[in-house]
Amino acid sequence: MAKENGQSQRFVLERALEHYLHNVVPSQRLVRPEVMATYRRSNEKYRELYKRLAQA
């Protein structure tokens, strides 16, 4: 799917995870909102590092 759309696997996996965490998990009340907020902040803060590590 990633290759067909000209996207990296990481990008597609991040979007799938974000969709799951944003839409599926809250409906099942599995993760508290403050945990999600922390996850999003961390992901933004370390996005460039994650990209470099994925290329290594």
Over residues 11-41, the pLDDT tens digits come to: 899 889 888 878 887 776 677 888 878 988 9
- Confidence (pTM): 0.47
Domain boundaries of the chain, sorted by first residue: 9-55
- pLDDT band with cut points at 50, 70 and 90 for residue 42: very high
37 CA to centre of own chain: 12
